[in-house]
Chains A and B, each alone.
Chain A
């Protein structure tokens, strides 16, 4: 995170909001001054070392502060972890993800982990058991009360589900589920070391062990770097949760999706009501294992839902549902959104994770009506091969240099599989294929051809999708959606093979860039109107433009264009470059080039979003302080269980509702701003 003034302010506010003033004071000083020892901290915060230790304990527990013990000087340094602090604002969203995917229990676990930073499996289980017992007791008490009062059997507070017969087993099962999904991760001691310290430590060790303390020349330097990277990579994969015991087919690689994904599918597809039935499958976790929320993975999940939203706005809701399911398939193998240059090998990255049309069709919820969402036209108006060509030409223009042989090969495989018949000839109707009686691929030929025929009939059948819901048809419908996604201008998908009726992958980097551009455009349109939006987009696309050319290209009045450009320059969105045509440097003989710097604009935008968010928090604080007396009433421990209606008079109630409304709109707004931050920083 860029440590701008506003970012620091926001992080301090977030810590203050969640964990109170003491921690936030220490945290702010750490953020502003970098790593410090306790005596120095005490000097800067003017708090006693005792209090500092107290606050640091909380911060370390929440993983908001890294610590590093230096053996040489026998001191411990503390360092702020701004990423974790920022993630506090996203806590609500992450809890919501857990709820929508794995039910209420998962949401409670994740919420609990947010409050406690990290905890052991044992603690979580006992917390849950205690809570269940409490809820049970309360339910019974209320039931008794209700029955005693008016004898009605209708229990007023029957919100709690009856306790699970084996809460411990249920809890273990749930935790395993969450660990498998990556939403939570096991914690190890070295995670409290900041990434830089970890790097230094590993570097030191490697240097000592492999090279005996010192290296010579650039070649060895490179080698050392590579070795450190490998070690870091190994360390990270060591930390990752590996499922033990029963091997369940949860990843996207299972060949037979229909049989393999029964449980996963049931859990992920529906039933958000929290009345999950958990089978106690005997999975037992190490009770002393520490777990915490895995922010990196959560960001991946959030990114996927954001991409699905983009698909919905660009193409349509049905296609977006298909896309979301597809992203879900590869989610498992994407641990984080952005690669760390120090850890990940960026040189030979694999093609990313892929999913096939068949897998997707198998896992896609039956409630998604794949037959809808695409217009119907006669098949002669569709030419998918042209689409491939378009893709190719676009790709070529993007990567100025053609990849030669390799890309040619890929191109052939990118052709629609029904066209590429088994014996390698690429022709729509191979006249020889009938005479090839002994051709081992002949069988496949006829099958692929029949699927082609089926595709055409599907086009005719589209208006009445209820008619044929057989699997083959559904597969083709799904494929049509996928083709639509791949054919879109912003490249939702990329076809990378023909296994399983087409293999697909997602180029997240390009997508993220597209998302950023969309948000920038929205900002431009709102702040600078149509003309500003138009001019800025032109500059982004065409590069630097002469001031004289701009009005002609954009068809706006010269005067208007100048005013608008000056306005945008004041805001830092565009800038001007002067190119004198001779040494005289007179205005008449100077070319003025306007340009739009994407990177700078996103930095400015991000910073203003931080500021925006902190203002919202500050305002919230002020609003709360204004009605302090009413809020204090609700915080009284003896009234915690009561409804406010019972102990407040009308005026107080009104005030309370008012502040609740304000809280809601401010926090809601902060949450939406956070989405923008995610787009510009995290995805």
Chain B
């Protein structure tokens, strides 16, 4: 029968021996045989082992776990153990659950269910732990309404934060749009062939768009090209600017059939990485998400080409501004009329007293 002092010494020895093992593999579960294999417990005396393990548990340096292979222990660091030792039983129960949840965080309701604590006890535990800044509140993107807790020393996982698309738990739409614009511009430069001769051709004989245009006007048009679109009207400059845009559009030629140079996912991922346009790191998966969305937005299109098998090319109509694309349906008042369903000759609104029509026709 070992004395108390011996037990304390053995305990320290066992712990020291276990630290390197746990360092190699932080998830390791130590079992009775493992401890005996350390050859620290004299004669493999089970009673001594029991005493040693109990004292380690009392000092919170060990933690009991149950799994399919039966019972075992996990190691805690000295600092951790110190924290645990300062806690009451209830507080410890709460804290251990939060600790186990790791960087995923845990929902307050789950803690309550698992610990079976009374509401007020639970709140006081949480208060105590928060005041000691051992735990902190966090928000998960998947369940934005849930109250979640996480150890203060950890930062939430990607799943909880939603990956690169979220900033402070909110979907960062501006960032997403910016990223798509960058990708789109790159794909678009690789999709079209800028024909100088076609541009010259368009300038020399502008078809249909504007019948007469002198060289001065062309110059003017070029100067105006980069300006934003002004209000609709029939000013001369306006027409020229639109012509210039049109000409630029006409000069973008498609690549021949079977062209293999369209960019694929790998190339685009590399491009984003090299461009350093974003502070976040975007993985190939993230880029793929963006590309899929751009396909759904009808801006780019999958083609079977290139070394990767699947590449992307920009669609020609995406070169046009939104207001350049005309929609027949919504052009006249009826297409965007808020009371179109009610509209009837003789009804409360009808073609005879339609204000929208009056505006449109006097335009």
Contacts and interface: CB of A to CB of B under 8 A. Distances in A.
Given A377-B255, A390-B305, A537 B260 contact: no
B261 A386 contact: no
A534 B316 CA distance: 18
A117 interface: no
A389 to B, nearest CB: 7
Given A315-B316, A384-B257, A611-B334, A390 B329 contact: no
Contact of A372 (B173, B195, B329): B195
Nearest to B353: A622
Contacts of A381: 259-261
Interface stretch (A183-191, A262-270, A285-293, A523-531): A523-531
A494 to B, nearest CB: 13
Contacts of B325: 522
A636 to B, nearest CB: 26
B298 A533 contact: yes
B328 A557 contact: no
Contact of A669 (B193, B254, B292, B332): B332
Interface string A594-624: 0000000000010011011001101100110
A22 interface: no
Contact of A393 (B304, B340, B350): B304
A383 B301 contact: no
Contacts of B260: 381-383, 386
B254 A616 contact: no
Nearest to A388: B258
Interface stretch (A49-57, A120-128, A225-233, A481-489): A481-489
Given A489-B301, A523-B327, A611-B340, A622 B258 contact: no
B293 A555 contact: yes
A374 B298 contact: no
Contact of A615 (B301, B316, B334): B334
A331 to B, nearest CB: 24
Nearest to B250: A317
Interface stretch (A33-41, A166-174, A672-680): A672-680
Interface in A472-530: 480, 483-484, 486-487, 489, 521-523, 525-527, 530
B123 interface: no
A523 B329 contact: yes
A556 B301 contact: no
Contact of B336 (A372, A526, A530, A538): A526
Contact of B195 (A375, A383, A525, A537): A375
**Taking each of B165, B325, B336, B351, which has the highest tally of chain A beta carbons within 10 Å of its own beta carbon?**
B351
Contact of A537 (B296, B302, B328, B343): B296
Contacts of A533: 297-298
A255 interface: no
Interface in B322-361: 325, 327-332, 334-336, 340, 343, 345, 350-352, 354, 357, 360-361
A521 B325 CA distance: 12
B326 to A, nearest CB: 9
A435 to B, nearest CB: 32
A316 B316 contact: yes
A436 interface: no
A615 B329 contact: no
A386 B262 CA distance: 13
A214 interface: no
Query: Which interface class (under 10, 10 to 19, 20 to 34, 35 or more) fits B?
Result: 35 or more
A386 B258 contact: yes
Contacts of A611: 334, 340, 343
Contacts of B277: none
A673 B261 contact: no
B167 to A, nearest CB: 12
A152 interface: no
A374 to B, nearest CB: 5
A310 to B, nearest CB: 10
B253 A374 contact: yes
Contacts of B192: 375
Interface residues of A, number: 67
B41 to A, nearest CB: 53
Contacts of B298: 521, 533, 537
B171 interface: yes
Contact of A526 (B257, B293, B329, B332): B329
B212 to A, nearest CB: 20
A665 interface: yes
Interface string B166-200: 00001101001000000000000000110101100
A549 interface: no
B62 to A, nearest CB: 41
Contacts of A483: 256-258
A336 interface: no
Interface string B251-280: 001111111110000000000000000000
B303 interface: yes
A319 interface: yes
A463 B354 CA distance: 56
Given A374-B253, A386-B258, A673-B329, A313 B304 contact: no
A541 B297 CA distance: 12
A463 B201 CA distance: 13
Contacts of B193: 374-377
Contact of B317 (A313, A459, A480): A313
Nearest to A670: B332
B330 A555 contact: no
B47 interface: no
A356 B317 CA distance: 29
Contacts of B292: 553
A7 to B, nearest CB: 15
Interface in B154-172: 165, 170-171
Nearest to B176: A555
A375 B315 CA distance: 15
B45 interface: no
B334 A612 contact: yes
A383 B197 CA distance: 25
Contacts of A385: 258
B259 to A, nearest CB: 6
Contacts of A615: 334, 343, 351, 354, 357
A553 B351 CA distance: 42
B289 interface: yes
Nearest to A620: B351
Contacts of B316: 313-316
Contact of A612 (B173, B176, B197, B329): B329
A278 B217 CA distance: 43
Contacts of A608: 329, 340
A375 B354 contact: no
A163 to B, nearest CB: 32
Contact of A382 (B258, B289, B340): B258
A382 B258 CA distance: 5
A319 B256 CA distance: 11
Counting from the closest, the 9 A-B pairs by CB-CB distance are: A375-B193, A390-B304, A483-B257, A618-B351, A384-B258, A487-B257, A387-B258, A612-B334, A526-B330
12 contacts: A313-B317, A377-B255, A382-B259, A382-B260, A384-B258, A390-B304, A523-B327, A557-B170, A612-B329, A615-B357, A618-B352, A673-B328
Interface of B: 165, 170-171, 173, 176, 192-193, 195, 197-198, 201, 250, 253-261, 289-290, 292-293, 296-298, 301-305, 315-317, 325, 327-332, 334-336, 340, 343, 345, 350-352, 354, 357, 360-361
Given A386-B258, A487-B258, 12 more contacts: A313-B316, A375-B256, A377-B255, A382-B260, A390-B304, A489-B303, A526-B329, A534-B296, A553-B293, A556-B171, A618-B351, A619-B357
Interface of A: 313-317, 319, 372-377, 381-387, 389-390, 393-394, 459, 463, 480, 483-484, 486-487, 489, 521-523, 525-527, 530, 533-534, 537-538, 541, 553-557, 605, 608-609, 611-612, 615-616, 618-619, 622-623, 662, 665-666, 669, 672-673, 675-676
